[in-house]
Chain A
Amino acid sequence: MEETIVVVAEQREGKLNRVSFETLTAAQAIAAETGWTLEAAVVGSNIDAVAQEIAKAKVAKVYAIESPQLERYTADAYVAALKQFVSTKQPKLVLMPHTYQVRDFAPKLAASLGRALISDAIGYRKDGAKLAFTRQMFQGKFAADVSFACDPPHFATFQAGSFRGDKVEMGASVAPVEKVAAQVDAGAIRVKPLNIFKEAKQAVDLTQAEIIVSVGRGIKEQKNIEIAKALADALGGEIAASRPICDSGWLPMDRQIGSSGQTVAPKLYLALGISGAIQHIVGMKGARSIIAINKDAEAPIFEIADFGVVGNLFDIVPALTEEVKKAKAGQ
């Protein structure tokens, strides 16, 4: 048995799901405490680029588990591939982010190996030689520490947001990527995925955006949102808004950020004309960099902004958009 932790990262249609970095952060912390080796794996077909991206983090190795049968996600194929990999590798611990996709196959994977799965953990604790995972019970009223009573390999998933993806340690050099050819019998796949489609019309997943330009009441009129959109386009980001904007129908509900909208943690969040009511803050305080533009010097948004400009957004934003375009053209 190897003293290894394997983080199974998630990719979809060739794009790495950034929540995988959160699992890597957790795994790095556990590896530091246990002294175990940390490796990563990703499942799919033609996923070299994804594997290379993961390899930038501080891991010993990245496995690209590939097969043509893994091009489209199915629980059967993923379980078959990972079961082979885990049986061969025999790591001590397999960690995954608690995404919808992981929820679909992880229990089957653990069961197929006769092992246990601790799911949706929000943290972990090392108690002597034992590793315990913290889970919430009764809608968060209690937390329970759960540890494994069976033999390894052990399986656990972490709740999104329980660790900081941006705190993952990067490697001094890119880790080696090893291709693993998975043997997946096409006949054993019982489900045939059809076309992937978005359920709601124009449903946008702001949680995957790296740059978000967000507008609040300060934008005054619906037509002024164009100014913010221009900045978002120049930066290559998404447009979003606080509640009053979506309530008035100026932007669709799926662009709303806050306690009754989406919670995001992008690299860059620009808050334009947003006062910073707590209901909005809780939806974006995890952003790595926050820039706020507001003409009210006392707006609460300035308390959490990394950079703040007290001024008129109608003067500042167009000028900013111009500078961004110039900078990008100059590149």
Chain B
Amino acid sequence: MIFRTPLPNVDRPQMEADVVIVGGGPAGMACALRLSQLIDQHNSANPESPLSKENIYVLEKAREVGQHCLSGALLDPRSMRELLPGFEKEAPLDAEVGQEAVYFLTEKSKFKFPITPPPMRDHGNYVISINKFVKWMGEKVEQAGITVFTGFAGSELLVEENRVIGVRTDDKGVDKQNQPKSNFEPGYDLKAKVTILCEGTRGSLTKQLIGRFGLDKHRNAQTYGVGVKELWEVPSGRIAPGEVIYTLGWPLTTQEYGGAWIYGSKDNIVSLGFVTGLDYKDPRLDPQHVMQTFKTHPFVRQLLEGGKMIRYGAKSLPYGGWFAIPPLAGDGWMITGDSAGFLNSQRLKGIHLAIKSGMLAAETAYDALLEQNFSAQQLASYQTRVEKSWIREELWKVRNFHQGFEKGMIEGMFHTAIQQITLGRGLHERYAAHAGHKRLEHIGTLPAGGYGREHMLGPAKGDGKLTFDKLTDVYHSGTKHEEDQPIHLVIHDTDICNTRCTVEYGNPCQHFCPAKVYEMVEASDVPNGKQIHVNFANCVHCKTCDIMDPYQIITWVPPEGGGGPNYDGM
């Protein structure tokens, strides 16, 4: 098995930039837009010494802006109103939130919460498709005169003497053996004065940065969830546009963290999905299976029956909260959005925080451009800005929220209640967090049914109408990659997969990957009769494998730019 690594001894085209924004999602686009606004303002006030936008680039690995963006989603308009006052008039908003309800599900029934808990109240928020929203933002960025390079991934951080000096883009036209093909194009070395990482959850460059500079020292371990989503078209009248439903409980037990969302959009489209915390104990748990089982609940079945699933996707989320956020800036770099971990896990909202963080990073970059100083001291003002802003105000209140659930739902509810009356503190100043993958238990110690978890362990069979097997679901993600390229899910020691992991954890990659990338196939010359097979072309870029593999030997790197899911309407 040959894995993707940047080709050595290759002459790479060098390009100079002022600012490189890695990732064209809500954070990256907001950053570009805000920077453009500040430069425009500056230039009209100082026509004799203008700043140029020509050397500001956004790198986006998808073929089209928004194509890899997936979320529920509900947008809190707070930051968009700051960025573009009056944006509601032209942005693609699918519905304004009308009614909300939270249910606790058991296998056959449901209990509605008499009052919707305040953090889950969504009045004033909008049901959006983040894919459509980001596409619209992208248009504005291009109109603003900032170049977006689609089909280009940031594959390596360029570091010199502990300064981040830029980004190397992906090598194109490399075959399965990691050899150049006739259409080989080496990645560019984009030398930037400041690199702003907006890669989303578990960004690959962010991971390199954190590893390189030990940014996770003195921080809580980041913890994650994976959201599995389906977009459905249902018969009229089943759900109103703007209707928001959250569920807790079944099919998860009190020992797993997670829940579902159901949002009514316009034109009889329903967005629904299940988020499973990536800190469950049974390695055979399959988040896509959880989602399928969830749909069989009578409440959900009656909503979807007779409808049609039109798209599927998955995305990981950072649950760690305030104490898991790494240092946000250093010599030549800043981190925004989900890459930094700006998610309010209690409110289940992060898009508005991503946008706000992008704006604050832009303001910091603007100051740095004026000063022509991109040192850690200069960029530290980003950290200050974040701490003085409503980002901290909002996240401080929920700083111990997710950690409270480490011992299960009952304890979690208890801690949440205490935190509510202590302005987020709870019983301790800072609750500890433990990396989710470390909680996986050896399958030898678990019974076949996982103590009543049969309905979510192993692969979903699917009935083809309401529920689907993983391969069918993956087909509906529209994911496509250039086939003749090296495997971009880099497994550092496949022997572990074929020997230790089979025995200890039963190769959970087959289960936690929502895209059926990993398979154990029959082989003759391997100790356990099965060996790991990587169907990288199915990958939906969710990073769950990078997060959840018990030995932490999988590193997700971007495949050749342009490849990946097609999250139209998601």
Determine if B537 and A300 form an interchain contact, defined as CB atoms under 8 angstroms apart: no
| Given contact pairs A260-B483, A300-B464, A277 touches B472 in the complex (Cβ within 8 A) | yes
What number of A residues sit within 8 Å (CB to CB) of B?
A: 13
A58 to B472, CA, bound (A): 41
A300 to B535, CA, bound (A): 21
Cβ 8 A contact of B471, one of A247, A253, A279, A303? A279
Cβ 8 A contact of A278, one of B471, B480, B483? B471
Which residues of A lie under 8 Å from residue B521 when comparing CB positions?
244, 248
Tell me which residues from 256 to 282 in chain A have a Cβ below 8 Å from any Cβ of chain B: 259-260, 277-279, 282
Which residues of B lie under 8 Å from residue A278 when comparing CB positions?
471-472, 475
A220 to B521, CA, bound (A): 11
Cβ 8 A contact of A260, one of B464, B471, B472, B537? B537
Smallest distance from the beta carbon of B478 to chain A beta carbons, Å? Answer: 10
Smallest distance from the beta carbon of A224 to chain B beta carbons, Å? Answer: 13
A303 to B464, CA, bound (A): 11
A277 to B469, CA, bound (A): 9
Which residues of B lie under 8 Å from residue A303 when comparing CB positions?
464
Which residues of B lie under 8 Å from residue A260 when comparing CB positions?
480, 483, 537
Smallest distance from the beta carbon of A160 to chain B beta carbons, Å? Answer: 20
| Given contact pairs A260-B483, A300-B464, A247 touches B535 in the complex (Cβ within 8 A) | yes
Nearest neighbor of B472 in chain A, beta-carbon distance: A278
Which residues of A lie under 8 Å from residue B471 when comparing CB positions?
277-279
| Given contact pairs A247-B535, A300-B464, A259 touches B475 in the complex (Cβ within 8 A) | yes
Tell me which residues from 211 to 269 in chain A have a Cβ below 8 Å from any Cβ of chain B: 220, 244, 247-248, 253, 259-260
Smallest distance from the beta carbon of A135 to chain B beta carbons, Å? Answer: 20
Which residues of B lie under 8 Å from residue A279 when comparing CB positions?
471, 475
Instruction: Render B517-538 as a binary contact track against A, CB cut-off 8 A, 1 for contact.
Output: 0000110000000000101010
Instruction: Render A160-198 as a binary contact track against B, CB cut-off 8 A, 1 for contact.
Output: 000000000000000000000000000000000000000
Tell me which residues from 284 to 311 in chain A have a Cβ below 8 Å from any Cβ of chain B: 300, 303
Nearest neighbor of B533 in chain A, beta-carbon distance: A247
Tell me which residues from 449 to 481 in chain B have a Cβ below 8 Å from any Cβ of chain A: 464, 471-472, 475, 480
Additional pairs, 13, CB under 8 Å, beyond known A259-B475, A278-B471, A282-B475: A247-B533, A247-B535, A253-B483, A260-B480, A260-B483, A260-B537, A277-B471, A277-B472, A277-B475, A278-B472, A278-B475, A279-B475, A303-B464
6 contacts between A and B (CB under 8 A): A244-B521, A259-B475, A277-B471, A278-B471, A279-B471, A282-B475
A residues bordering B, Cβ < 8 Å?
220, 244, 247-248, 253, 259-260, 277-279, 282, 300, 303
B residues bordering A, Cβ < 8 Å?
464, 471-472, 475, 480, 483, 521-522, 533, 535, 537
9 nearest CB pairs, A to B: A277-B471, A278-B475, A278-B472, A279-B475, A260-B483, A260-B537, A279-B471, A278-B471, A259-B475
